[in-house]
Structure 1
C-alpha cells in the first residue's frame, strides 16, 4: 500500500473517523487546532456529529452524554484545555463510559507556551480529577503510531468501558511524515446493553451515573472498577526496546525525545559506549516489570530518563528500577526540546556517576 504524507493532527483526526468516531466535541487551542478543524469539515459530510462547544468543560460533558447513549465519542485539546476537562474525565471513569481524549501537549504550567512539551505526564497517568480512577494512556512516538493507536483507542475504550488518552507532544501534532493506512486488528467487543439509548425491548430504563450516596455502595463500585484496572494491567502493557541487550547505559524516553535518543545511541556507539533505549508505549499501565528486567542486566551501569519536562516519568522509572541501578534525569521545560548533544553528554555523565 502506498504511503501518504500527513500532518500529525490531521492524521489523528482521520484515524478517528476511520475508527468509527460518531461524535466529536471540542474547543480550539494551539497546537491541536487542526484536529477540530479537520473534523468540522469531514464529520458532517459523513452524517456524523461535530460540535465546537462554548468551552472545554462543555465539550467533555457532551462527550459524557454521547458516550452514555452508546456512541463512539471523542474530544481533543492541549494541556490547559485538558485541565478544564478533568472533572468530566473523572465522571466518565466513574460512570464506566468509553471515550477517547487526545492531548497534544504544550508548555506549562498555566497558559505556558504553544511549543511541544511532555509536562502533562502526571495529569494523564495520575488522573487530574477526583477519586480512585485510571485512564489508559497511549504515547505515540511518530505519526504512523499516532494513527494506529488512535484507531485502536476506540476499541480499547469500548472493551473496558473506560476513557483512553492519546498523549502526544506538540511536535507530533505539527510535524508531517509519510504514513500507511492499514487495517487495525479489531477486538470482540461486548454489547452496549448498558447504554441509555431507549428501552430496546427491556422492561426498564438504563441509568448512567457515577453517584453513589452510601459509602459502602461507592466502595463496592470502586473495587469493581479496580478489578477492571487490574485486568488492563495484565493485558495491555506495551513497550519497545532497542539495543538494550548488554547495554552500559539504558535510556528511557517516550514521544519525540525517544526519537532523539535513538540518534544518541548511534553517536554513543561511535564513542565506544553501548547504549540502549526502553520506550514505554502505554504510560498507564506502565511497563514496570519489563523496565526492571532491562535495567537489571549486569552490564547496565546507569539508567537515564529523557523528557520534555522537568522530570515526571522519571518517578515511574525509579519505581520500576527499585534502587538496583542509579537513575539520572535529563530534560527541558516550557516547550524546549532536548538536543542530541545534550542527551549524549548526559549519558556519558551518567556512566561517570553523574559528574
Structure 2
C-alpha cells in the first residue's frame, strides 16, 4: 500500500491482486513477460494461484476452466499470443465467462518486433475469435491507469459476464512512474451460475453450444443485449482543452501521451488544439465524437497502426467533420516535434482548416 515507483507491467499485477483476482495463468512473451514474472512472485506470496502453461492455447483454456468454477482469472500476453487465444476467447464469450486479459501490443504482423504498436485494435475491439461477440476494452495511458484499470476490470467482468481486455502497449508496460496503491481488495462473491462441485451448484452447466438454431439465435440476441447495456453504462473518456479547439487529437495509450505534449507547443504558437482520449475502446465514446464533429472541428487521429481506430472515428463522426490520420507503424512512435510540424503543414500553412 502507498506510493511506489514501478513499471506498468508490475502495476497491472498489483491491480489484479487488489481487484480480487484469484488465479493467474500465463506464458511469457516480450513485452509482457514481466507481468507473468511479477504474478509468479506476488500471487504466490498473497496465497493466490499462479501457473505457467505450456502455450497460450493452454492458458486461455485454463481461464475457461477456472472461470467456470467461479474463480476471478486473468492472463497477459502480446499480439502473437492473443492471436493464439482467439478460439478460447470466443468460447469464453459463448459461455459468458468473466475473465481479464492484458495485451501489451508490439509491432507486427508475424513476429514483427518488440517495440510498441497499436495494431491489435481490430483483433481485440472487434472480438478476435469467431462469432458475434465483443470484449470490454480498457485503454490505459499511464502506469497508474495500468493499476486502476486492472483493479476494476474484475468487477466489470463479473457484472457483465464478459472478457475485459486491458489494451496497452510496450511503452506503457515498460515505463516507470509513481503509482498510488490504495483502497480495499475487491473480492468477488459466489456466482449463482458457476460450478463449485457442491450440491448448491449441481444443476449448473457451463457450455457455449446450442444444437438448436432457435436456441442459438436467442443466445446471440441475449449477448447483443448485454453489449448494448455495456455501451449505455460504462463509456469512459478524457478530454483536454476541447472547448475552444479548432483541431482535436483523438488518441489512446502512448499516442495520447505524445499528442498531449504536442498541444502545449501548438497552443504557444497560437494553434487551438485539444485532445479526446478514449479510456474505453469498446464501448467507444461515440456521443462525444459526434458532438465534437457536429461543431465542424477537425479530428486528427494519432495512432500506431494503419488506421484501425481511425476507421471507427470516421464512422462515429458521421461525415460531419474532416478526419485526418497521423499513422505510424513498425514500432516507431511520432515525436512531439513531428506532430507539431504535421499540424502546421496541414492546418496552418496547408489550409485544411
TM-score interval (norm. to shorter): over 0.9
CA gap 1:267/1:61 in 2 versus in 1, 3 angstroms: same
- Aligned partner of 1:67 in structure 2 is 67
Normalised by the length of structure 1, the TM-score is: 0.95
- Aligned partner of 1:192 in structure 2 is 191
Deviation digits for residues 132-181 of structure 1 (CA, Å, limit 9, x no counterpart): 00000000000111110000000000011110000111101011001111
Indicate conservation of the 8 Å contact 2:31/2:106, yes or no: yes
- Aligned partner of 1:146 in structure 2 is 146
Indicate conservation of the 8 Å contact 1:149/1:166, yes or no: yes
Measured after TM superposition, the shift of residue 347 of structure 1 is: 2.2
Measured after TM superposition, the shift of residue 20 of structure 1 is: 1.4
- Aligned partner of 2:108 in structure 1 is 108
- Aligned partner of 1:15 in structure 2 is 15
2: distance between equivalents of 1:310 and 1:161? 32
1: distance between equivalents of 2:341 and 2:280? 28
Q: Which moved more, 1:306-315 or 1:53-62?
A: 306-315
- Aligned partner of 1:79 in structure 2 is 79
The alignment covers a number of residue pairs equal to: 351
Deviation digits for residues 171-213 of structure 1 (CA, Å, limit 9, x no counterpart): 01011001111227969x87511001124336x4311000111
1: distance between equivalents of 2:262 and 2:302? 11
- Aligned partner of 1:284 in structure 2 is 282
Indicate conservation of the 8 Å contact 2:17/2:185, yes or no: no
Matched, 1:325 2:321: yes
CA gap 1:289/1:218 in 2 versus in 1, 3 angstroms: same
- Aligned partner of 1:24 in structure 2 is 24
1: distance between equivalents of 2:186 and 2:279? 19
Indicate conservation of the 8 Å contact 1:304/1:347, yes or no: no
- SS of 1:223's equivalent? helix
- SS of 1:201's equivalent? helix
Measured after TM superposition, the shift of residue 2 of structure 1 is: 5.0
CA gap 1:311/1:354 in 2 versus in 1, 3 angstroms: farther
- SS of 1:234's equivalent? helix
Measured after TM superposition, the shift of residue 127 of structure 1 is: 1.1
2: distance between equivalents of 1:137 and 1:347? 29
CA gap 1:55/1:66 in 2 versus in 1, 3 angstroms: same
Matches within 5 A, 1:165-314: 165-183=165-183, 191-201=190-200, 204-298=202-296, 300=297, 302-314=298-310
Measured after TM superposition, the shift of residue 40 of structure 1 is: 1.0
Measured after TM superposition, the shift of residue 238 of structure 1 is: 0.5
Deviation digits for residues 63-116 of structure 1 (CA, Å, limit 9, x no counterpart): 000000000000110110010011111110110000000001100011110011
CA gap 1:49/1:273 in 2 versus in 1, 3 angstroms: same
Aligned CA-pair RMSD: 1.8
2: distance between equivalents of 1:183 and 1:318? 39
1: distance between equivalents of 2:185 and 2:24? 23
Matches within 5 A, 1:327-342: 327-342=323-338
Measured after TM superposition, the shift of residue 320 of structure 1 is: 1.3
Normalised by the length of structure 2, the TM-score is: 0.95
- SS of 1:246's equivalent? coil
2: distance between equivalents of 1:14 and 1:346? 39
2: distance between equivalents of 1:346 and 1:191? 54
Q: Which moved more, 1:259-268 or 1:135-144?
A: 259-268
Matches within 5 A, 1:153-172: 153-172=153-172
2: distance between equivalents of 1:127 and 1:235? 20
Indicate conservation of the 8 Å contact 2:19/2:186, yes or no: no
2: distance between equivalents of 1:315 and 1:212? 34
Indicate conservation of the 8 Å contact 1:199/1:205, yes or no: no
- Aligned partner of 1:52 in structure 2 is 52
Measured after TM superposition, the shift of residue 270 of structure 1 is: 1.4
